[in-house]
Structures are given as structure tokens and as C-alpha cells.
Amino acid sequence: MTTYIVLSNWTEQGIKTVRESPRRLDAAKALVEEMGGSIRAFYLTMGEYDMVVICEAPDDAVAARFALALGSQGNVKTCTMKAFPEEAYREIIRSLG
């Protein structure tokens, strides 16, 4: 599985209905699981982003579908980053020669 970091901000619609946010998080967890992935961690954050999600997906296409599905609901805007674990990082650096 590949790890992705999803940085999220509520939209105007999302913050107006913020009390529904826990239910939407549960629905997002179910959605990514249906796609073959999982949410490993969720954080409410203070600063530039409202929420940070660490998730796993089988490939980039699944991660993109998940992000698009979330965004299409109109409650959040996302910025998704592919994350390389330490072992992969070390291999990438070793491959530089």
C-alpha cells in the first residue's frame, strides 16, 4: 500500500455544517475502505490546514478517486501528497550513487 497525506480545509459549506463533520469522516473512512484503502490517522489541526489525514491506498488512481469524491461533496478542499516511508527514502538516496 502507498501512503498519502491529505491536507484539508473546510469550504464555506463545510464549516456551516461542521457539526456533521464526524459523520462525514465516518463516511470517508467507509468510502476509502470500499476502494481498498484505509485511513490510518486523522488530526484536527490549527494553522494553514483544518485537518490532516494519513491514508493508504493501493495506487495513485485510487487516491485520486478518493480525493475527487471528497471534494465533489463540497465540504472540503484537499491537497494530497504521496508519502515515501523511511526505507523508500533511504533507497532513493542510495540510488543517487
Q: What is the pLDDT of residue 97?
A: 84
pLDDT score recorded for residue 73: 96
* pLDDT at residue 48 in the model: 97
Number of structural domains (the chain) is 1
Q: 51: Cβ–Cβ under 8 A, 6 or more apart, which residues?
A: 7, 8, 9, 10, 42, 43, 44, 45, 76
The pLDDT score that the predictor gives to residue 60 is 97
* Intervals of the chain under pLDDT 70: none
**Structural domain of residue 38, as residue ranges?**
2-94
pLDDT value, residue 90: 97
**pLDDT for the residue 23:** 97
Let me know: does 37 contact 4? Beta carbons within 8 Å: no
The CATH number covering residue 48 comes to 3.30.70.920
Distance, CA of 92 to CA of 85 (rounded, Å): 11
